[in-house]
A and B are shown apart, each in its own frame.
Chain A
Amino acid sequence: MHQTFDAALGINLLHANQAGADHNRAHFDEWGIACFNVMSSPGAGKTAILERTLAVLTAEYKIAVIEGDMTTELDADRLRKYNVPVIAINTGRSCHLDSKMVAGGIHTLAHEYNPSEIDLVLVENVGNLVCPAEFEVGEHLKIALLSITEGEDKPLKYPVMFQEADCLLITKIDLAPYLDVDVDRIVANVRQMNPHVTIIVVSAKTGEGLEAWFDWVRSQIHHLSKSPHQLSTVGEKAVALG
């Protein structure tokens, strides 16, 4: 009979991804770049919000986009029209970006552009409410989107994404007259698990709420440029629905 032994490891399952994310963040900090990880289900309007954001904020900041898409460059092509560096990462069959894929994007960015001139990198994750929440890519802040057509219960069903978000954009508010949706309930459901998240109700179509979103982006870039390692504090997260 064999004698059996035990070895205690106590290592996080996502240790390798986390180490890669920390490495990416160190690059961003070194270059003075703020990095946002933009996440939502497919079709919530990530690309539309990024289009509106680039249209306005490229006048104030040097912005680059790292675009995660399963197989196409359709989203990347939409954003290239704004004359910003867009690094497309095809994730293939993987349903999320991980820190290694984003590291590849960062190296392309550093090779083809001058990273110290860039103020903000927007990472558009693959549309998915589950996996991206577990895989940090090196971001300073997590932005979640939820469109009002998705239903009030989604934060309860996909809690990790909404619990981790620093900012939640409730999108497509222009559709509210046609839907039986209770936006206050969406907000209450999110606040149950994330009381300090900044929540902004927007429409990329009409422009409603976008000024509040731009202000939030401006304040976070300002904040991160002063103290890159510090996430926004509770006191500063009180825009819009407070």
Chain B
Amino acid sequence: MHETDMTKALIVTVKNWWKAQPEPPKISHVHLTVGKFTCVEPVSLQFAFEVQICDTFLDGAELVIQETPLIAFCHHCEQEYQPEIGIQYACPTCHSPMEDIRSGRELKIDRIEYS
């Protein structure tokens, strides 16, 4: 359940931002980007977030997770493809190994909505 640790890290980062504001704002949404080729499960992250923000400056805030697909670029075929996670990672056309990942490794706090 490393999503618990990740959520702690997320809250610390958001809190640093929150403290740096001239007037402590009321945060309504925290937007994340989570790639499909990471070890992070969005459902677990949502759960950990809801539990950990109780009675904090984030109470009532919503976590919005945008998942990004795994996209690799095959230099032999000179085109992008979507590997099938758990089944096939090599290029479906020429079977070259997956080397150049263009999307899917993101774990990012994108933006905060506040009033």
Interface centre among A11, A160, A195 (most CB of B within 10 A): A11
Looking at chain A, what size class is its interface with the partner chain? 35 or more
Instruction: Say whether A194 contacts B13, CB under 8 Å.
Output: no
Question: Smallest CB–CB gap between A146 and chain B, Å?
Answer: 16
In the assembled complex, the Cα of A6 lies from the Cα of B115 at a distance in Å of 9
In the assembled complex, the Cα of A207 lies from the Cα of B111 at a distance in Å of 53
In the assembled complex, the Cα of A16 lies from the Cα of B13 at a distance in Å of 8
Choose from A12, A130, A160, A192 the contact partner of B98 (Cβ within 8 Å).
Answer: A192
Total contacts A to B, CB within 8 angstroms?
98
A179 at the interface (CB under 8 A from B): no
Instruction: Say whether B38 contacts A9, CB under 8 Å.
Output: no
Chain A residues with CB below 8 A from B5, complex form: 94, 98
Instruction: Say whether A10 contacts B98, CB under 8 Å.
Output: no
Instruction: Say whether B2 contacts A13, CB under 8 Å.
Output: no
In the assembled complex, the Cα of A191 lies from the Cα of B97 at a distance in Å of 7
Instruction: Say whether B13 contacts A15, CB under 8 Å.
Output: yes
Choose from A15, A16, A17, A133 the contact partner of B39 (Cβ within 8 Å).
Answer: A133
Instruction: Say whether B97 contacts A195, CB under 8 Å.
Output: yes
Instruction: Give residues of chain A (123-166) contacting chain B, Cβ–Cβ below 8 Å.
Output: 130-131, 133-135, 156-157, 159-160, 163
Residue of A nearest to B28 (CB): A4
Question: Smallest CB–CB gap between A42 and chain B, Å?
Answer: 16
B94 at the interface (CB under 8 A from A): no
Instruction: Give residues of chain A (74-124) contacting chain B, Cβ–Cβ below 8 Å.
Output: 94-96, 98
A3 at the interface (CB under 8 A from B): yes
B89 at the interface (CB under 8 A from A): yes
Chain B residues with CB below 8 A from A7, complex form: 17, 111-112, 114
Instruction: Say whether B37 contacts A13, CB under 8 Å.
Output: no
In the assembled complex, the Cα of A194 lies from the Cα of B17 at a distance in Å of 38
- Taking A133-B39, A156-B87 as contacts, is the C-beta distance between A10 and B108 under 8 angstroms? yes
Instruction: Give residues of chain B (64-115) contacting chain A, Cβ–Cβ below 8 Å.
Output: 83, 85-90, 97-99, 107-115
Q: Which residues of A contact B (CB under 8 A)?
A: 2-17, 94-96, 98, 130-131, 133-135, 156-157, 159-160, 163, 191-195
Q: List 9 A-B contacts (CB under 8 A).
A: A5-B114, A7-B114, A8-B111, A9-B17, A9-B110, A13-B6, A13-B13, A94-B5, A160-B38
8 additional contacts, CB 8 Å, given A11-B108, A15-B9, A15-B13?
A4-B113, A4-B114, A5-B113, A17-B9, A95-B2, A160-B38, A160-B39, A193-B83
